Amino acid sequence: MKIYLNMLKLSPYQQQDFHIEEPGDNELLDTWGGRFLQPVVVEGKIEHSGKDIHAQGKVQTVVELYCSRCLKPVTYSIDSSFFAAVVDENCQKDLSETEEDVVFQGDGIADLTPLVQEVIISDIPISVLCQEECRGLCPNCGKDLNTGTCNCRDDNIDPRWEKLKQLT
Ligand SMILES: [Zn+2]
Ligand SMILES: [Zn+2]
């Protein structure tokens, strides 16, 4: 995910469009056990404001994740925008206080990879659901309760409680 700034030969008050398309790294989705179904497309423009250089655009891809209730595969589309300052990698120290997203560049090459990964990760909810109303799996027999009820409902009472009930 690199932009060759030297080749863009951006002068002050100019802007250049860019389009990068690369396969996603499935390791990024380890937390969710997911995988990329489509390449990661990053589209946007690099802008020279006269003083600073900024990169802005959007990240689009499609990933497969798993419903956190019923474990069914869920297709999730990512379409998220970003705005970041392009700064020299040697001035990392001065940036601890800035709120802005940052892309580092060295030798005229700006690497968007860390930013794009961040955009993707923050777009995905911690728990993904196949549908808002997903009923999940029965904790007892593992049946997918979206496809019907199981016979556990009445057996769910802990046998120890059963005894207590008899005492009363
Ligand atoms: Zn589900
Ligand atoms: Zn059950």
Q: What is the mean pLDDT of the chain?
A: 87
How much of the chain, in percent, has pLDDT values that exceed 90? 57
Q: Which residues contact 41 (CB under 8 A, 6 or more apart)?
A: 19, 20, 21, 59, 60, 61
The average pLDDT across 80-100 equals 78
pLDDT, residue 164, reads 59
Expressed in angstroms and rounded, the spacing between residue 136 Cα and the centre of ligand 1 is 5
Predicted structure pTM score: 0.78
Q: Where are the beta strands (DSSP E) in 12-162?
A: 15-22, 35-36, 40-48, 53-66, 73-88, 101-106, 109-111
Question: In angstroms, how far is the first alpha carbon of the chain from the final one?
Answer: 69
Q: Which residues contact 21 (CB under 8 A, 6 or more apart)?
A: 39, 40, 41, 42
Question: What does the alpha-carbon distance between residue 129 and residue 68 come to, in Å, rounded to a whole number?
Answer: 6
Give the ligand at the shortest distance from the Cα of 145: 2
Expressed in angstroms and rounded, the spacing between residue 152 Cα and the centre of ligand 1 is 19
Expressed in angstroms and rounded, the spacing between residue 148 Cα and the centre of ligand 2 is 10
pLDDT, residue 165, reads 58
